[in-house]
Amino acid sequence: MVSEATHHVMQANKSKNTKPELKVRQALREAGLGGYRLHWKKAPGKPDICYPGRRVAIFVNGCFWHRCPHCALPLPKSNVEFWTQKFRRNVSRDERDALLLVEAGWTVLVVWECHLKKDRFAGTMADLVRQVRLSESLGKRERGRYVEVGAIDPWKLAMARRRARGHLRR
């Protein structure tokens, strides 16, 4: 069971029209990619942004609630069992929804909140716009894709971490 204070904090968190989601929608409109549906109920998982005609579903995931694989966020210190189960359910639901969409021939694009920070925003949005347009050009030839938008190649990430620790020079 969760405390009343925690319950109120969780209730106050928005699930729609969050700042990261609004930033992504604005960038899509600026790129000429309007005409999307918001939280379309006919698609599994009700994607944050959906292009039914292109069969593209975009999920803008908050790092804390969806357990970003790039941030390695710690668990809350109190009520650990509750939070562990809560996050496991969230991740499981996300995986299930993405799998259902991919199996139905949709392109699933996942944008993590951390990829929308100032230093990565432009690159992430360029990748997102490219992926949306690519899904249209692929047509029915290649259906059912899952893409983490703005994700850094694991090799480049490892090299960046080594560089940050002072083990490598540019």
Residue 82's CATH number: 3.40.960.10
Residue 46 lies in a domain: yes
Give me the domain span that covers residue 97: 13-164
Say what the pLDDT of residue 4 is. 73
Residue 3 lies in a domain: no
pLDDT in tens, the chain (170 residues): 666 765 555 555 656 778 999 999 999 999 999 999 999 999 999 999 999 999 999 999 999 989 998 888 888 888 899 999 999 999 999 999 999 999 999 999 999 999 999 999 999 999 999 999 998 777 666 678 999 998 766 555 565 566 666 655 44
Residue 8 lies in a domain: no
How many domains does the structure of the chain reveal?
A: 1
Q: Give the separation between CA 106 and CA 168, rounded to whole angstroms.
A: 41
DSSP of 54-105? TTEEEEEE-HHHHT-TTT-PPPPSSSHHHHHHHHHHHHHHHHHHHHHHHHTT
Please give the backbone phi and psi of residue 52, each rounded to the nearest 5 degrees, phi first. -60, -40
